[in-house]
Each structure stands twice: as structure tokens, then as C-alpha cells.
């Protein structure tokens, strides 16, 4: 059996390009006991993978040059030498960006794709949904009537974070990169207000205008000047859930901004950085709650699905230019 896989061809300096990826053919061995042969179906591209392309110490180890890129994948079991899985089962796991692969059974989890679309296990019922849940419920802790601002609001994490904040009774403002995405946030996902950061002249004033009572919770997915503008509008005892900094991931130099610590000090603000894996012992709780919200229609989700295995680098690069609404996925079939 032959498979095609993407390897990291080179490490990017600044903005990544398709040159940093290379597609290769790979022959697969015979299955051993407790292994399954998988065909990739939905492949997730995620902003954190940009960090793994660097050779730097972080919470996730760097990808190796000339070795397969790995990420979250929904796959179909084609053949099984495991007692846990049978042919036709749909599973999720952290797998190589490959058309086919062999994996040990203990690294896979079977999922039900009858009641929810398979891609949801890479989005709202996967890592992005769990991240939104813990950032809002454990760090932001919005109360009814409080104002919650979410940057990167129209993406995989942001649309879930905003809707969870709405469930808590908050007034929710999303920041995103186009008028079309602003409309989507308000009309599809119940955000009270949305701001297009690309057309806003003075962000700090625009945030003040749409948040007349100030900002109590800031869920930060992007960092940079957008975050500086929100921080200027934070209330006393505000909470910042520091989830992502996508505006900084392709920087070649550390960017300088205003010194924010005096604001945090004088307004008694909590700033908490977090990685979703900090909460791994509570994934069951979050998964159950998110599944219930999806099934009863309390939360809606959106996917941007690009067809074709070969488009994986394009889909990944598209995250940095805002090509996605909701979760960016590749469908291989």
C-alpha cells in the first residue's frame, strides 16, 4: 500500500509559504497486532502549527525537517488488527498529514459521526471547542450583563467562545477582519456587536463606542495592536483569557507595544495565559457540555472545508490571511 504525505521541507523565516512543505510517496508496512490502517478523511490545520515549524522550545515539540507534519485528523479504519476497532469505524487522533497511515489502537478514539458532522471533532467538539470552553468558563468567568470582547472572533475558537459567553448572559463583542465576518457573527452566532479591525480607524475608540460600559472579559486570540486597544478599555477587576497571539506568530523580531502592566496593576486585572492541555483532566466535562449544546441547538458552528489532500499547505497558510470562517479543514475525499 502506498501513501502520500507532507513533510516539513524547510523552516520558515517570517511568513510561511508552500515552499516550506513537500509531498512525498511512502510505502506502508504490513499491519502488526494492535495496529489499524487508516485513510485520512478530515485534516485540521491550526495556527499553533506555525510555532512547531520553528526550532524553538515550546509546549509542543518542533516538527523535524524532512519528517511528516502531524496534526489532528478524522480518519476511516480501512483494515484492523486491533480488537478495539473494526473496518469502517471513524476515529480521531494526532496523525501524519498523509493519505493513509498505520497507527496503534491506543492512540485513537472512535467517534460517532451519525449525529454530528465528522469535522466537528476537529472543531467545536475538538481542541478549539475545548479551548473556548475553558478560556471562558475558567478564566473569563463572565457574569450576566458583563461585557465580553473576543478577538479572532470568527474563527474556530472565537465563534464558540462568543456563544458560550452569550449563554452566560453577557454582552458580547467580536473583533474580526471583514464586514462579511462581522455580519456572520451578529446574524448567525448571536454576537451583540462586531468590529472590523481592518477598517476601524482608531481601534481604541471603536472598542469604547461598542462597549459603553467598558470591557469586563477579554478573550484574546490575536495579540498585537488589537489587544492594546482592548486593554485600554478594560474595567476594574477585568479578566483576560490569553489564548492566542496569531498576529505575532510570523514576526521575525519581538514587537514592541505600550507597557500594559500599569493598567493591569491599577485596575486589579487578572491576565491568565493558558494552553488547553492544562485542562486535560477535565476534557470529559467540557466535551459533554459542548456536545449537549450542539445537539440541542444552543450553539451553532461553521466550517470552511477545502477539498483535496494536496491543498493542505494552502489551507494552513490561509489561516494567516483570514481565509476561514469558523474551523478551517481539508476534506480528502
List residues binding ligand NDP (CB under 6 A): 46-48, 127-128, 131, 152, 154-158, 176-178, 181, 221-222, 226, 243-247, 274-276, 319-320, 322, 324, 328
| Least distance in angstroms from the C-beta of 86 to ligand NDP | 32
| Least distance in angstroms from the C-beta of 91 to ligand NDP | 21
Among 300, 285, 329, which Cα is nearest to 121's?
329
CA separation for the pair 282, 27 (Å, rounded): 39
The grid coordinates listed for 135 are: 478560556
| Least distance in angstroms from the C-beta of 219 to ligand NDP | 9
Among 90, 94, 5, which Cα is nearest to 46's?
94
Q: Which is nearer to ligand NDP, 79 or 225 (CB)?
A: 225
CA separation for the pair 60, 275 (Å, rounded): 10
Query: Is there a contact between 300 and 189 (Cβ–Cβ < 8 Å)?
Result: yes
The grid coordinates listed for 252 are: 521575525
Q: Which is nearer to ligand NDP, 119 or 128 (CB)?
A: 128
Q: Which is nearer to ligand NDP, 101 or 154 (CB)?
A: 154
The grid coordinates listed for 299 are: 450553539
| Least distance in angstroms from the C-beta of 36 to ligand NDP | 27
Residues in the chain: 333
| Least distance in angstroms from the C-beta of 68 to ligand NDP | 21
Q: Report the greatest alpha carbon distance in the chain.
A: 64
Q: Which is nearer to ligand NDP, 96 or 245 (CB)?
A: 245
| Least distance in angstroms from the C-beta of 78 to ligand NDP | 29
Q: Which is nearer to ligand NDP, 34 or 320 (CB)?
A: 320
SS3 132: helix
Q: Which is nearer to ligand NDP, 24 or 180 (CB)?
A: 180
| Least distance in angstroms from the C-beta of 74 to ligand NDP | 16
DSSP string, 102-129: EEEGGG-EE---SSS-GGGGGTTTSHHH
SS3 144: coil
Q: Which is nearer to ligand NDP, 55 or 251 (CB)?
A: 251
Q: Which residue is nearest to ligand NDP (CB)?
A: 155
Query: Is there a contact between 161 and 276 (Cβ–Cβ < 8 Å)?
Result: no
Amino acid at each position: 500500500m502506498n501513501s502520500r504525505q507532507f513533510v516539513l521541507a524547510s523552516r520558515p523565516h517570517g511568513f510561511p509559504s508552500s515552499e516550506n512543505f513537500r509531498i512525498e510517496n511512502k510505502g506502508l508496512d504490513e499491519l502488526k497486532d494492535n495496529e489499524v490502517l487508516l485513510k485520512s478523511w478530515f485534516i485540521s490545520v491550526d495556527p499553533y502549527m506555525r510555532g512547531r515549524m520553528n526550532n524553538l522550545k515550546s509546549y509542543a515539540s518542533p516538527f523535524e525537517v524532512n519528517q511528516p507534519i502531524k496534526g489532528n485528523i478524522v480518519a476511516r479504519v480501512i483494515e484492523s488488527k486491533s480488537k478495539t476497532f473494526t473496518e469502517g469505524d471513524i476515529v480521531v487522533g494526532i496523525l501524519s498529514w498523509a493519505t493513509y497511515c498505520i497507527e496503534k489502537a491506543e492512540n485513537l478514539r472512535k467517534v460517532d459521526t451519525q449525529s454530528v458532522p465528522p469535522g466537528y471533532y476537529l472543531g467545536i467538539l475538538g481542541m478549539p471547542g475545548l479551548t473556548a470552553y475553558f478560556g471562558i468558563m475558567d478564566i473569563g468567568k463572565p457574569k450576566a450583563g458583563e461585557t465580553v470582547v473576543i478577538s479572532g472572533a470568527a474563527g474556530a475558537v472565537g465563534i464558540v467562545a462568543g456563544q458560550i459567553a452569550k449563554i452566560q448572559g453577557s454582552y458580547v463583542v467580536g473583533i474580526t477582519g471583514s464586514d462579511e465576518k462581522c455580519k456572520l457573527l451578529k446574524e448567525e452566532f448571536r454576537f451583540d456587536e462586531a468590529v472590523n479591525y481592518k477598517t476601524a480607524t482608531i481601534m481604541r475608540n471603536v472598542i469604547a463606542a461598542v462597549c459603553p460600559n467598558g470591557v469586563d472579559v477579554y478573550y484574546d486570540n490575536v495579540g498585537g495592536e488589537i489587544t492594546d486597544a482592548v486593554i485600554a478599555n478594560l474595567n476594574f477587576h477585568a479578566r483576560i483569557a490569553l489564548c492566542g497571539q496569531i498576529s505575532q506568530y510570523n514576526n521575525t523580531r519581538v514587537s514592541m507595544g505600550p507597557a500594559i502592566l500599569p493598567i493591569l496593576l491599577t485596575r486589579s486585572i487578572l491576565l491568565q495565559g493558558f494552553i488547553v492541555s492544562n485542562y486535560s483532566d477535565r476534557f470529559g466535562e467540557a466535551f459533554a457540555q459542548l456536545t449537549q449544546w450542539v445537539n440541542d441547538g444552543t450553539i451553532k458552528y461553521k466550517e470552511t472545508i477545502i477539498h483535496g489532500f494536496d491543498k493542505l499547505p494552502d489551507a494552513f497558510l490561509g489561516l494567516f490571511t483570514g481565509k476561514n470562517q469558523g474551523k478551517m479543514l481539508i476534506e480528502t475525499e
